[in-house]
Structure 1
């Protein structure tokens, strides 16, 4: 049996592929652990400059595997596993804090924790068949996988309340209009477009990308003055790098820079 999560390397781009297609990539224990391990691997790999997160089969991810969850409720395993703390939180934390930019290629169903995982990525490319939603109220639960923060930041508090309390779904065009994603593409092209975007990112300055991720992640918890100080510190550090000097030289010489991550 193949692993439920695959890593596919193409130069400086690593694709992390959820691979339970017959279950629409529902997150059982094996997939959650494999996904966390895969993300940890690529986040620590200095040769990986950008990451694509995608799902195999008809859906990106339908969230928690409810069949396994129901068994866990009956045996008490769910309470012992504490899956939000042990799996969902580390997964989205790794996505948000890894130095590489991450592009989610979202097609088909993307609901519950699947939506939380997609929103923890830096960029999202949506297929025109994508159906997104929170889904938590339908099973008597509330947000997990960081969605109380990421969905609110993306769409605002009023719409976030509506989406979680009413539990309805929304389409790709709405997601773009609300600021969740930047573009919608035909379903057959979503992974290609996401990979092309990641390839473009992989040619960019890795140290600057990591600094930008840190600044954005912390912006909502910092005061204005703290944000200014953090920007100054990051700029000072980046200004001393070989990459910055190379980029300035390339600009003056009318050529493309060659970033080395130093």
Structure 2
């Protein structure tokens, strides 16, 4: 699940970038805590997402976990919890927003547990790829807590209000196939195949037209709560931006020539 990354690295967040494809992988690396996120790891995630958003060479981002688990949520064991809870939550909220607003496509690669904020970290990605044995839970109620890391916004949009309430209020643990049937997992792939599958998926996303993909992602995120009139106005604005890149004529020519286009996202106003 962490091909090409040495687990000898003791950093709580491992970063690997394939410069040939522009795909970066962030690996949560606290396997002794099932990759539960403590204060240090929240800061590292914040910095990594900020860096990803400012790197013009990046075309896609994969988030995964080390040691056979994705993420057991926030680490509530007691360490690194200085300061007012609201201050800590505001910082965690910044991380959630940075992931949601990241212009490049994001993929969560999930094995083992993805619970609480860990599941919502996966749901905050654009696509979720899971092994058949992965387990998911909005576990907050079992800890006398309420939803966070965007769960109260994400769940009703993805599964509807009744299923969202079921998942939140009962804090049930569900498997990968049920999560997929609810629309909470995009693909379920055998554990021995998931690394290759996600690599291919991320490479396909990275090969797409970066400006157009960013526009489509933003339109889907923004227009879910707007009227059709608002959505159409946003689409017209985004399409005008796309026509001002080199990618559109390249795509049209490739269609005519029956070849594969190479997209750069370069501005091309005459």
Q: Deviations over 1:81-137 (max 9, x none)?
A: 7222112x1222111111110010011000000011101100010111110010011
Q: Deviations over 1:126-175 (max 9, x none)?
A: 11111001001111111100011111111111000011001111110011
**TM-score of the superposed pair, with normalisation by structure 2:** 0.91
Q: Is the 8 A contact 1:106 1:190 kept in 2?
A: no
1:217 aligns with 221
Match of 1:50 among 42, 48, 60: 60
Comparing 122-131 with 190-199, greater Cα deviation is found at 190-199
Q: Does 1:35 align with 2:45?
A: yes
Matches within 5 A, 1:126-145: 126-145=130-149
Distance 1:28 1:256 in 2: 44
Q: Tell me the SS of whatever aligns to 2:193.
A: helix
Question: Where does the alignment leave 5 or more consecutive residues of structure 1 unmatched?
Answer: none
Matches within 5 A, 1:26-175: 26-68=36-78, 72=81, 77=82, 79=84, 82-87=87-92, 89-175=93-179
Distance 2:23 2:63 in 1: 11
Displacement, 1:3?
1.8
* RMSD, aligned CA: 1.5
Q: Is the 8 A contact 1:15 1:53 kept in 2?
A: yes
Q: Is the 8 A contact 1:9 1:15 kept in 2?
A: yes
Q: Does 1:231 align with 2:235?
A: yes
Q: Deviations over 1:196-234 (max 9, x none)?
A: 100111111000111011101112221110001101110
Distance 2:87 2:228 in 1: 36
Distance 1:105 1:224 in 2: 33
Matches within 5 A, 1:193-212: 193-212=197-216
Q: Tell me the SS of whatever aligns to 1:67.
A: coil
Distance 2:51 2:263 in 1: 22
Q: Is the 8 A contact 1:137 1:164 kept in 2?
A: yes
Distance 1:161 1:80 in 2: 25
Displacement, 1:80?
5.1
More helix by share: 1
Match of 2:12 among 4, 25, 30: 4
Residues 230, 20 of structure 1: alpha-carbon distance in 2 compared, 3 angstrom cutoff = same
Count of matched residue pairs: 256
Distance 1:78 1:118 in 2: 27
**TM-score of the superposed pair, with normalisation by structure 1:** 0.94
Question: Where does the alignment leave 5 or more consecutive residues of structure 2 unmatched?
Answer: 1-8
List, as ranges, runs of 4+ consecutive aligned residues in structure 1 with deviation greater than 6 Å. Answer: none
Q: Tell me the SS of whatever aligns to 2:174.
A: strand
Residues 162, 78 of structure 1: alpha-carbon distance in 2 compared, 3 angstrom cutoff = farther
1:20 aligns with 30
